[in-house]
Amino acid sequence: MNKFLCCTLVFLDISVKWTTQETFPPKYLHYDPETSRQLLCDQCPPGTYLKQHCTTRRKTQCEPCPHHYYTNSWHFNEECLYCSGMCKELQYVKQECNSTHNRVCECVEGRYLDLEFCLRHTSCPPGFGVVQAGTPERNTICKRCPDGFFSNETSSKAACRKHTNCSALGLQMASKGNATHDNLCIGNTEATPKCGIDVTLCEEAFFRFAVPTKFTPNWLSVLVDSLPGTKVNAETIERIKRRHSSQEQTFQLLKLWKHQNKDQDMVKKIIQDIDLCENSVVKHIGRWNLTLEHLSSLMESLPGKKVAMEDVEKTMKLCKSTDQILKLLSLWRIKNGDQDTLKGLAHGLKHLKTYHFPKAILQSLRKTVKFLHSFTMYRLYQKLFLEMIGNQVQSGKISCL
Ligand SMILES: *[C@@H]1O[C@H](CO)[C@@H](O)[C@H](O)[C@H]1NC(C)=O
Ligand SMILES: *[C@@H]1O[C@H](CO)[C@@H](O)[C@H](O)[C@H]1NC(C)=O
Ligand SMILES: *[C@@H]1O[C@H](CO)[C@@H](O)[C@H](O)[C@H]1NC(C)=O
Ligand SMILES: *[C@@H]1O[C@H](CO)[C@@H](O)[C@H](O)[C@H]1NC(C)=O
Ligand SMILES: *[C@@H]1O[C@H](CO)[C@@H](O)[C@H](O)[C@H]1NC(C)=O
């Protein structure tokens, strides 16, 4: 009993030894027919195969693998392994075969191996973001954007992005974001010490057609209901109503609507052409460096309530020279409730001569007024716009248009 136990222990000791890495090179048991003994032979290293087992007199003999064959670990096989064949379609050779490594194939960029095929990585749709990018072995993992995050694209790379924090930017939230849309922020013109022209001359020229000749109390809500696409939310409409005079409310609403629907083809076109108009206006009047005296004479010449001298000074400080006249005209419009800036400016130009205003600048201003009056596209837009909201017009919902 004792003896048996002892032998078992010895055997265990040996078996542990030659299966662990404690002995190097690793060994294997071989029955030697010549001596009828069990021998512990050295194994062969990677890149070779076993040519001859060891004997009591000679170590194991290993030979290098032939071309296109390999072994990648210590072993006592009498043959090397054949390197795998060509890579599959849409795979490339990541590692060529050599005596110690098999050929490694990998799916090309943007694909992963699924059974036999290299499939394209899934793109996460809007509302979903990538939590784990795809690899050559694994597909993309998408997850619905959690609260406070959004993804507005179809992408196999992009994660969900945090909603813009409007208040942190000193802006107000015009519409709350969701999984597919960012928060929409709008400028808080009172708080931001910027030039900030709210509604430009070109926007005014274009939006003016939508201003009714008679305002009814629910005018703005009627217009909101009639506009196609993404609606401006009720909270924002209330804020616009609180802050602005009736004509300005229309401009503000249309400006916001334009921004919120900027991806619609029709609106894209409108934005493009308003940009063109603005470039033209800046070309006419943006190239002058006007002095404080010039600017205040210009403001003095306009009818109605005057823009305060300190506002003219502030504008000179905050606005680039290209924006100063435009900013002052927008201040005048806001101050004068429901006036038409172009009419005001045309009126002013008649009186500017008495202020000894530089002729060249006067001429540029005249050209600007003329350009905006003949803003030919403007009539075209009106037509487009009316077509867009044609259904409502036909059903008599916006009779004031
Ligand atoms: C075989 O290729 C592998 C990986 O490319 C490399 O690490 C190894 O050194 C190569 N072996 C020989 C013998 O060239
Ligand atoms: C937005 O920013 C403000 C000020 O930095 C912070 O107090 C507020 O918690 C932020 N809101 C979110 C939703 O992160
Ligand atoms: C997310 O918000 C956008 C714009 O505000 C809206 O068009 C869309 O329907 C909303 N999506 C969901 C799932 O609420
Ligand atoms: C996605 O949202 C970002 C941030 O609001 C915006 O800049 C971008 O234009 C949007 N992309 C698309 C395709 O709507
Ligand atoms: C206006 O001033 C800017 C810099 O202050 C200058 O580069 C530009 O040439 C000036 N333009 C005119 C028409 O005087």
260 lines ligand 1 (CB under 6 A): no
Residues 122 and 56 in one domain: no
Residues 167 and 194 in one domain: no
Question: Which of 274, 246, 227, 258 has its CA nearest to residue 339?
Answer: 246
Residue 94 belongs to some domain of the structure: yes
Residue 11 belongs to some domain of the structure: no
Compute the distance from residue 174 Cα to the ligand 2 centre, in Å.
16
3-state secondary structure (DSSP) of residue 3: helix
- Could you give the CA distance from residue 79 to residue 121 in angstroms, rounded to a whole number? 39
Q: Whose CA is nearest to atom 14 of ligand 4?
A: 152
Predicted local distance difference test score (pLDDT) of residue 8: 39
Cβ distance 125 to 154 under 8 Å?
yes
Residues 73 and 87 in one domain: yes
Indicate yes or no: pTM above 0.85.
Answer: no
Residues 234 and 348 in one domain: yes
The HSE-up count of residue 337 (CA atoms within 13 Å, CB side) is 3
pLDDT digits (tens, 9 = 90+) for 335-370: 998 788 999 999 999 988 777 888 889 999 999 999
- Residue corresponding to tokens 């170590």: 59
Residue 142, domain extent: 109-187
Compute the distance from residue 152 Cα to the ligand 4 centre, in Å.
6
**Ligand 5 atom showing the smallest separation from residue 287 Cα:** 13
- Could you give the CA distance from residue 245 to residue 253 in angstroms, rounded to a whole number? 12
Q: Which ligand is nearest to the CA of 185?
A: 4
Residue 18 belongs to some domain of the structure: no
Residue 347 belongs to some domain of the structure: yes
287 lines ligand 5 (CB under 6 A): yes
The last residue of a domain, from among 158, 187, 216: 187
Residue 126 belongs to some domain of the structure: yes
359 lines ligand 5 (CB under 6 A): no
Residues 218 and 287 in one domain: yes
Output the domain CATH number for residue 173. Answer: 2.10.50.10
289 lines ligand 5 (CB under 6 A): yes
Residues 145 and 72 in one domain: no
Tokens of 168: 């942190």
Residues 219 and 173 in one domain: no
The last residue of a domain, from among 104, 125, 153: 104
Count of domains observed in the chain:
3
**Ligand 1 atom showing the smallest separation from residue 99 Cα:** 13
Show pLDDT as tens, one digit a residue, over the chain (401 residues): 444 444 333 444 444 444 545 688 999 999 999 899 999 999 999 999 999 999 999 999 999 999 999 999 999 999 999 998 889 889 999 999 999 999 999 999 999 999 889 999 999 999 999 999 999 999 999 999 999 999 999 999 999 999 999 988 878 888 999 999 999 988 755 544 678 888 888 988 888 877 777 778 888 888 888 888 888 888 888 888 888 888 899 999 999 999 889 888 888 888 988 899 999 999 988 888 889 999 999 999 999 999 999 999 999 988 988 889 999 999 999 899 878 899 999 999 998 877 788 888 999 999 999 998 876 555 666 666 666 655 444 444 443 33
Q: Whose CA is nearest to atom 8 of ligand 5?
A: 289
Residues 88 and 120 in one domain: no
Long-range contacts of 135-142 (CB under 8 A, 24+ apart): 136/106, 136/107, 136/111, 136/112, 137/112, 137/113, 138/112, 139/112, 139/114
Residues 149 and 264 in one domain: no
Residues 147 and 283 in one domain: no
Residues 246 and 199 in one domain: yes
**Ligand 4 atom showing the smallest separation from residue 164 Cα:** 5
Question: Which of 386, 372, 377 has its CA nearest to residue 340?
Answer: 372
Buried b (16+ CB within 10 A) or exposed e, 153-179: eebbebbbeebeebeeeebbbbbebeb
180 lines ligand 3 (CB under 6 A): yes
399 lines ligand 5 (CB under 6 A): no
Residue 6 belongs to some domain of the structure: no
The last residue of a domain, from among 59, 78, 104: 104
Residues 175 and 286 in one domain: no
Cβ distance 135 to 110 under 8 Å?
no
